[in-house]
Each structure stands twice: as structure tokens, then as C-alpha cells.
Amino acid sequence: MIETLRDISQSLTFRIAGLLALALLPIGLVSVATTSALLENLDSRAEASLLALTEKAAAHERSFLRTGVGAATVFASIVPELRDYNLDCDRPLWDFVSKSNGFTFAGYANEAGQIVCASNGATGSLAENAVFQQMVDNPTPRILVSDSADFGQGSKIVVSVPVFREAVFAGLVAIAFPHGKLIDPMYDLSTERPLDLITYNADAEILTSSGDLSFAPQRLPANIELSRLAQGSDFSFIDWTRDGNLRVFAVVPIVPNQVFALGSWAHDQSDAIAGISLTRSILFPVAMWIVCLGVGFFAVQRMVIRPTRNLRARMLTFMRSRQLASPDHDFATPRELREMDDTWNQLAENVISDEAMLRDTIKQRTVLLKEVHHRVKNNLQLIVSILNMKVRKAQSSEEKAALSEIRQRVMGISRVHQNLYETSSTEHVNAGELLSAVVGGTVRSTVADVGALNFHEEYDDVVIYPDQAVPLSLAITELLTNALKNMGTPDDGDRKPTLSVRLLRDGPHEARVQLCNSVAETRSIDEDLTSSGLGVALIKAFTQQMNGSYEADCTKDLYSVTLKFPIADFDDSSVPDEMPLAS
């Protein structure tokens, strides 16, 4: 994804469009600043209007709750006094409840939680009641919701005030009224935008809701906790609700530090006030930006991108097939691009001409090099013929053996040159093909019955330069000659003599050759296989010429040699003037 975006950003169309967009940026910024100021003004007006409507909508709740708080405060001061003088404390509580419009219970519980005065004459204990337990933990006035039957049937809103005697907690006065009594129909406070009103206490407990109370939590602000809104004075803000609607909120205290009203209405309907439209405010810069991008895109595509792509297509055609296609220009192609096209045609023609000359040169070089290999092979064959004549005329067996050994080595060198011009190109040599031909020819010319030999070959695909191919082939020829000469048959006579040649690649820049032959248990290793023999000296010299290493290992019935060498690039400075021989 990042690479795709980077490629797009480097295109000419993108950059010209970016420059045009940057040139129009001041106009866009002015329009955005104007629109932003307009929105702030509209939001401020909407928030101020919502504060006023929330104050008006919460007037009934404020009046009712303040009446309850005031009555509970009065009873908290007089009920203990009535108890001290053994006067009836139930009567004033009953009078208050019976004459009020909505309150259903008023009572006093002592410090132990026992109800000693009640508007309904009931007695009992509030020791296990959550209202009483909270008052004991923190004896301060509070308003909360309770489902306890101690205050009557159904959900109640309970106003509780602590009672103190000489600064010591002496119980509480509780006044309760049904939950629905606090809700006052809001009639037509705002016909254009319906007002949603929620009341809650200082403990962030929802008391009432203008809608379904069970859905009230979903209509609260999503990014501000209700406990943070239970403090301070009037204020307003804009936020998303928990069910995903953007609304304007206003917080109004109903009972200071105890009960608060949260009013809200939809924000999306406040974008057009006094005939001002947000869409019209931002339409002009957006339209200008789109038009300029369109003009820039069309101009660049027509005058630059299309001719450039045409030139690129003809370059690709030339690269793949060496064919020159005719340019496709029209009146919209700029002069500079036409000149670039002409320059490319001249360059392509020069490349075709140079490649033709280079192919001729390579062909001549290849023919000459193959001819050199062929002539060297013929000259070596001539030397082999002379040596054959010398072998036939030799008198002693030692002289014949020495001449035969020399003849065998010359034939190996001749076979290498023959395979170099028959199996590989002049630039690269497939070592597997070369060794397969060298090994096969050597084995066939040395072993009378190849079927009587347990012979195994394995060659990986290793490509080397001729600088390494020649010493590698000579080393393998020498190793194979020594192996065939010293190869023995196991003493049990049930198995055939074993010979294996393997060319293996060890990574991208390393290779090795392994040659193993069987050795009879009763037969000693020929001295040519020791470090003092001429064969080993030649093998080490060839290995050193390849910058490789030579290892030999002999067990009870198996002799193995491993040549390791790097797959090197061509470097004529690394080719020695003459092959070093071990002394």
C-alpha cells in the first residue's frame, strides 16, 4: 500500500494537480476559516438556546425537588424536638403528605435505623436499607432512586436529610414520591427540535428521563462521564451520544450540588439558522478545487502523459523485439516531446547498428576460439600418435609404462580441448556437461569392459568460466586415471570394483568434486596416490590454479578424493602465466 502511494505521488499528473491545489489553498483556507467562524457562532447560539430551554423544561423538577429538600430539612430540625417533648411526630408528617401534590411518604429514623415517626404511622427498621447505609457512611443530604418497600410500593425518588444532635448523627428524615411524578410534559417547548431531558444526582445516578428510562443511558454523552457533569454551574457542549447521534447538550443544576438536569437536541438540525447554509459556504472552494484538478489532469494527460506513454511503449517494443515503431503524434504534442522522440529514434538506430557489429565480432571470436581448441586437440593427437610409435619400439617394460603414462595424460588434455569446443559456449562452461564427457571418454578408453565396473555419476548444474574449466578437467582426468589404475576388487570376489564421480554445488558460490574408488584389502596404495607422486603434484597444482583445496581419505576398502573450489567470476589477472608444480 505504501509503495503504491509512493508511485502515485511521483507521477506527473499528481504533482501538477498538487501544485494547483496548493495555489488554491489560500482561497480554501479563507473559506474554511469563514465557515468555521460561522459554525462556532451557530453552535454558540444553539447552546445558549438549549440552556434556556433546559432551564424552562426543568422548572417543574426544580420546584418539586426543592420543595422536598426544604420540607425534609424542616422536619430534620423539628421532629427530634417533638420527640423530646413526647409530642406526636406522625401528625405533621401526615399533614405534609396529605396536603402536598405528589409526595407519598415522610418519615424519621433514629441513629439505629428504627422508624420512629412516619406519615403512614408505619414502624420498622431501615438499618439494611441502602438509603440509610449511605447516610451513615456519609451523612449529607442526597436524592436518589429506591425500589425499597420501606417508602411505599414501586420505584420512588427519596429525598433524605441527616439529623444531628449536638453535632452527632442522630438519624435521617426521608421524603419519597413516585418516580413518574417528577416528569412534567414538556408540551411545545421547541417544535423544530424535540428536547430530551434527563435528571441525575451527584452520584451520577439517573433519576428521571423524558423518554423511556431504560434507554436513558444510551442518550448520554459518549466521551464525558456523567459523574464529571455532576458539578459546577450551567454549561453546554457538543458530543456524540452512546447510540451514535451528534447532539448539543446543556447541564443545569436543579438542586445545587445534588440534582442536575441534562438537556439535549439534535445537532444536525442546527446547521442552518437565519437563512445561512453550511453547504453553500464550502461549495465554492470545493468546486474551484475540483475544476482546477480536472483542467490540470486533462492538460497533462493530453499533452504530456499520452505522448510519454506512447514513447515508452515503443521503447518496450524495441527492447523486446528490436523493432522500431513509428511515432503517433498529433497537434497537441509539444515540440520538446517531438524532439525527444526523434532523439530516441536516432539512439535506437545506433544501438541496432552497434549490436550488429558486436554480434559479428562475437561470432568471429567464437569461431577463432573453437578453431584454436580444435587445432590444439589435433596437435595433441599428433603427439599421442608419436608416443604410440615410441611405445611400440620401446624395449623395456619400464620405458613402455612411462611412455604410456605420458600418452594417457596427453590424451586427457586433448580430450579436454575437444569437449571445450563441442559442449559449451566460449563465455560460460557447464561443468556438469564437461565432466560427464571427460569422465565418460576416460573410462571408455581405459576400461575394457565397463559393464564389469560398478560406475556411478552425478553432476549438479554448475556454470563456470573457461579459466576454471581447463584446470578442473585436467585435475579430474588425473584423478580418474589414478583411480582406474589403482582400483581394486574386494577380496571376497562377490562384488564389482566401485567407482563414483560427483559434482555438487555447495551454495551459490561454492562447488566440490568427489571421486571414490574401491581398494582391495590386501593391496597397498600406489605411490602415485601419496603426496610424493607426480599425479598428486599435478592435481594439487590444478586445484591451486582454481583457488581450491584438495583432500584425500583412505579407509579399509575405499579411497576418496574431494576437490573444493569457488565458482569465480572471470578475472584474467588471476590466471597464472604457467602452472605451478609441487616439488
Tell me the pLDDT tens digit for each residue of 542-580. Answer: 899 888 998 988 887 788 999 999 987 655 444 444 444
Q: What is the mean pLDDT of residues 112-116?
A: 90
Using the predicted structure, report yes or no on whether residue 151 has a pLDDT greater than 70: yes
Nearest Cα to 256, choosing from 135, 141, 136, 106? Answer: 141
Measure the CA–CA gap between 212 and 216, rounded to whole angstroms: 7
Q: Give 466's pLDDT tier (boundaries 50, 70, 90).
A: confident
Q: What is the mean pLDDT of residues 522-551?
A: 71
β-strands 454-459, 463-464: how paired? unpaired
Q: What is the pLDDT of residue 458?
A: 93
Q: What is the mean pLDDT of residues 299-309?
A: 78
For residue range 187-239, what is the model confidence (pLDDT) as tens digits? 444 555 577 888 888 888 888 888 777 888 898 999 998 888 887 788 888 89
Nearest Cα to 49, choosing from 308, 261, 294, 249? Answer: 249
Q: Give 269's pLDDT tier (boundaries 50, 70, 90).
A: very low
Higher-pLDDT residue of 475 and 467 is 475
Q: Give 490's pLDDT tier (boundaries 50, 70, 90).
A: low
Q: How many CB atoms lie within 10 A of CB 380?
A: 19
Measure the CA–CA gap between 76 and 16, rounded to whole angstroms: 80
Nearest Cα to 501, choosing from 414, 416, 415, 435? Answer: 435
Q: What is the mean pLDDT of residues 149-153?
A: 80
Q: What is the pLDDT of residue 535?
A: 77
Q: Give 582's pLDDT tier (boundaries 50, 70, 90).
A: very low
Least confident span in 158-172, 260-274, 287-301, 310-324: 260-274
Using the predicted structure, report yes or no on whether residue 497 has a pLDDT greater than 80: yes
Percent of residues, the chain, with pLDDT higher than 90: 10
Using the predicted structure, report yes or no on whether residue 324 has a pLDDT greater than 60: yes
Higher-pLDDT residue of 326 and 432 is 432
Q: What is the pLDDT of residue 403?
A: 86
Q: What is the pLDDT of residue 532?
A: 47
Higher-pLDDT residue of 126 and 233 is 126
Residue 38 CB partners (closer than 8 Å, separation 6+) = 276, 278, 281
Percent of residues, the chain, with pLDDT higher than 70: 84
- Chain-centroid distance, C-alpha 509: 33
Measure the CA–CA gap between 454 and 459, rounded to whole angstroms: 17
Q: Strand (E) positions, 39-150? A: 105-109, 114-118, 124-125, 142-146
Q: What is the pLDDT of residue 583?
A: 39
Q: What is the pLDDT of residue 161?
A: 92
Q: What is the mean pLDDT of residues 90-111?
A: 89
Q: What is the mean pLDDT of residues 108-120?
A: 90
Question: Mean pLDDT, the chain, as a whole number?
Answer: 80
Least confident span in 32-41, 83-92, 300-309, 508-517: 32-41
Q: Give 240's pLDDT tier (boundaries 50, 70, 90).
A: very high
HEC string of 88-102 equals CCHHHHHHHHHHCCC
Using the predicted structure, report yes or no on whether residue 528 has a pLDDT greater than 50: no
Using the predicted structure, report yes or no on whether residue 273 has a pLDDT greater than 80: no
Q: What is the mean pLDDT of residues 305-326?
A: 82
For residue range 348-401, what is the model confidence (pLDDT) as tens digits? 889 888 988 998 888 888 788 788 878 888 898 899 899 888 888 888 888 888
In this structure, what C-alpha cell is assigned to residue 554?
583412505
Using the predicted structure, report yes or no on whether residue 267 has a pLDDT greater than 80: no
Measure the CA–CA gap between 280 and 378, rounded to whole angstroms: 96
Q: What is the pLDDT of residue 281?
A: 58
Q: How many CB atoms lie within 10 A of CB 238?
A: 15
What burial class does residue 209 get, using C-beta atoms within 10 Å of its C-beta: 0-12 exposed, 13-18 middle, 19+ buried?
A: buried
Q: What is the pLDDT of residue 530?
A: 44
Q: Give 318's pLDDT tier (boundaries 50, 70, 90).
A: confident
Q: What is the mean pLDDT of residues 105-115?
A: 90
Enter the pTM of the model. Answer: 0.42
Least confident span in 93-102, 169-178, 187-196, 513-522: 187-196
Q: Give 526's pLDDT tier (boundaries 50, 70, 90).
A: very low
Measure the CA–CA gap between 173 and 81, rounded to whole angstroms: 13
- Chain-centroid distance, C-alpha 104: 66
